Every structure is written in structure tokens, then in C-alpha cells.
Amino acid sequence: MAYSGGAGMFMFLAIAIVVFTSSVSADPDMLQDICVADLTSAVKVNGYPCKSNVTAEDFFFAGLAKPEATNNSAGSLVTLANVQKIPGLNTLGVSLARIDYAPEGLNPPHTHPRATEVVFVLEGELDVGFITTANVLISKSIKKGEIFVFPRGLVHFQKNNGKTAASVIAAFNSQLPGTQSIAATLFAATPPVPDNVLTKAFQVGTKEIDKIKSRFAPKK
């Protein structure tokens, strides 16, 4: 799944321009040059407190360089490059992720409550889409070198309908966008969402709800 250095540089520049020229930031504006996150601090703030012993490693991450294994039930894997992986992102209002898809792999319907997402296709072709609050599906097939935007907070998905692996780089205008997978949120919550809520919402019986919940139960 190789791509040329020139193409890779163009990809990162394109994503950076989209993110940094946005007129609306999902995160608060920074008030100093840097505020490298102290991920071990017991102090709780909206973000992370700053640490004093800053090094270049706080601004570095190599985890998006190569594809990751997609041998799971969804056939996809998200590798995050957020403030929890790159402490130097604290207060900067930006993060990235890499998503790899097996053939027929799906990044299931989910939302990012704190960020808009932009994806750039590295390899393969994907069917992508998001659903508005008026229940209108906005969808498109995208291929290598193309970009698609998912507005903040709206349910969206990506599906690899091809016979070869696919991958994207995703950019977010938040240091920690957050992800809520719709199915897992409803059927794997702790404590569980009451069955009478789910049966009424989905207009099915308890047996169907229990069957779905069993699929999301932790592996023993």
C-alpha cells in the first residue's frame, strides 16, 4: 500500500490547509505558544494541564506510517493521532487519524461530537456518507486522491466495497474529537440501556435486543 513521497506531502499539505484555514474552531483558542499535555496529571480541566519538561518527542508520532491489521468483525481499524498520542497537540485544535479497511470493510455509523472530519483517500475506493438532522443521506463514492467532509456531530460511515484494501487519512478540528459508535453506544453501554427503551425505539422484541447485545459482549 505504498504511495510516493510527493503524493504524501501533497496530501498532508492539503489536509493542513483545510484544517488551519477553517474560520470556526471546535476547540477554544490557545493563549500561549505551546501547552504540552501532562497526561499523568490528576488535575482535571477542559483539555489537559501543561507540563514544563517539553521535548521534541511531545510533538512527534510515527503511528500513521503503515497500515494496521483489519482482521476484526467490522473489517476496519482506526489509528488515532490525537492529544493522547501527541501531547503537543494540547490547545492546538487539530488531530489526525488513519483508517484502514479490508475488502468489504466498514467503519460503522458513528459521530464525532467535538469535530468536523475531512478524509483524504490514500488507497482504494470507498462509499461514504453522512445523515443530516432531517434524515437526508448525503453520500458519494470516493477514490485515491479525493477528499470528503463529514460535518461535526452528524452520523457518518465509510464502506470499502472493493476487492482490495483501502485506507484514508482523516483530519479533525479538535485535539480530541471523541467518537460515538451508534451500535456500540446503544448495545454495549455500561450500565446497559434498559431493554424497554431499546425495544420501543427499534420496534422489536426483547429476544432481538438480547441477540444484538450478545454480539457486542466482551470476548471471554
Cα 98 to chain centroid distance, Å, stands at 8
Residues ≥6 apart with Cβ < 8 Å to 84: 37, 39, 176
Q: What is the pLDDT along the chain (220 residues), one digit of tens a residue?
A: 555 556 665 665 556 555 554 445 678 787 789 999 999 999 988 889 999 999 999 999 999 999 999 999 999 999 999 999 999 999 999 999 999 999 999 999 999 999 999 999 999 999 999 999 999 999 999 999 999 999 999 999 999 999 999 999 999 999 999 999 999 999 999 999 999 999 999 999 999 999 999 998 876 6
Whether the ω angle into residue 191 lies within 30 degrees of 0, i.e. cis, is: yes
Query: Which cell numbers hold the place of 16?
Result: 493542513
What are the beta bridge partners of residue 106? 159
Pairwise CA distance, residues 13 & 18, whole Å:
9
Residues sharing a CB contact under 8 Å with residue 40, sequence separation 6 or more, in sequence order: none
pLDDT at residue 24, as a whole number: 54
For residue 87, what pLDDT is reported?
Answer: 97
Record the cell numbers describing residue 10, joined without a space: 501533497
pLDDT number for residue 51: 95
What pLDDT was estimated at residue 23?
46
Question: Residue 32 has what pLDDT?
Answer: 86
Q: Which domains does the chain have, with CATH numbers?
A: 5-179 (2.60.120.10), 188-220 (no CATH)
- What cell numbers appear for 83 in the block? 492529544
The three grid cell numbers given for residue 73, joined into one nine-digit string: 468483525
> Distance between CA atoms of 42 and 48, rounded to whole angstroms?
10
Query: What is the reported pLDDT for 3?
Result: 52
Measured between alpha carbons, how far is 65 from 63 in angstroms, rounded to an integer? Answer: 6
